[in-house]
Amino acid sequence: MTRSRLVRYAAASFAVGILLSTAYLLFGSWVLYTPEPMWAQVLFFPGVLAGHLLYEAGCNSIPVCQVVGIGSMGVVTSIIGLGIAMIINKRQTGHPA
């Protein structure tokens, strides 16, 4: 797998993570569900944790904490996307796992 292909997978999965977490915040999903559904707790855990840790560390600006949470979701989904791309590449090329 070429480097440019890995970069494309990373960028695409980063964008998916950013879009999902931004939609979650913008559409007010945390208000619609009381209590928050389990799938949302699992899916958005890295972003919520990063934002919460920043808030607890002394940053009392909620928008800044939300941006950090969105960015961390992008990084996590990028790592997951790269892992999936590498697994697919190994299976297609026939290399042993």
Q: Where are the domains of the chain?
A: 3-93
Residues in the chain: 97
pTM: 0.80
Residue with tokens 């913008």: 26
pLDDT in tens, 39-94: 777 888 898 889 889 999 998 888 898 899 999 999 999 999 999 988 888 888 87
Measured CA angle at 81 (ends 80, 83), to 5 deg: 65
